[in-house]
Amino acid sequence: MKYPHPTCRAGLAGCFFGVFTLVTVNVAMAAGTASGGLALAGQRQCLGCHQVETRRVGPPFQAIAQRFHEQPGAADHLARVMRQGSSGQWGAIPMPAQPRLSDADALRLAHWILSLAKE
Ligand code: HEC
């Protein structure tokens, strides 16, 4: 049981519950859409900290897409970052490593995130 992450406990009241309630809500919503990426992000507990368009604990996926989508090797980079964690790229709060995320799921999520970039 990895959650709540220490950063959640420290300052972000509601993060712990957010991980569960938001994920449930988002997965339920995603089930009605064609978005496999969003459903996967829900299943892998990303949505407790990330939303597509608005900042939550972590940066919005759309902002990540905007920053990386034109960089070569971005998908591999993001997939690696998800599994190893990240700090100092977007602000003071670090992202905990997600070691239980498989390589294949990490890469699927990375491609999905990059696909959110607006032209
Ligand atoms: C406990 C909260 C939390 C969870 C859970 C979480 N993230 Fe993050 N994520 C963050 C934070 C905070 C950052 C910003 C880290 C930084 O500034 O370097 C971040 C950054 C990222 C980045 C950008 C990394 C970079 O180098 O720019 C990606 C991509 C990402 N998260 C994807 C995911 C995915 C996919 C999942 C689900 C498998 C996930 N995150 C789960 C909090 C979280």
Residues with CB under 6 A from ligand 1: 5, 8, 41, 44-46, 48-50, 57-59, 64, 78, 81-82, 86-91, 93-96, 98, 101, 109, 113
**Position 2 pLDDT exceeds 70:** no
Q: Is residue 1 part of a domain?
A: no
Helices (H), the chain: 6-11, 15-31, 36-43, 61-68, 74-84, 103-114
Q: Is residue 65 part of a domain?
A: yes
Q: Is residue 119 part of a domain?
A: no
Encode pLDDT of 29-75 as tens digits. Answer: 444 343 699 999 999 999 999 999 999 999 999 999 999 999 999 99
**Position 89 pLDDT exceeds 60:** yes
Q: What is the CATH number of the domain that holds 45?
A: 1.10.760.10
Q: Is residue 69 part of a domain?
A: yes
CA 25 – ligand 1 centroid, Å? 20
> pTM of the full predicted structure?
0.79
Range of the domain at 107: 6-114
What end-to-end distance do the CA atoms of the chain give, in Å? 39
**Ligand 1 atom at shortest distance from the alpha carbon of 86:** 18
Q: How many domains does the chain have?
A: 1
**Cα dihedral sign, 75-90-50-1:** positive
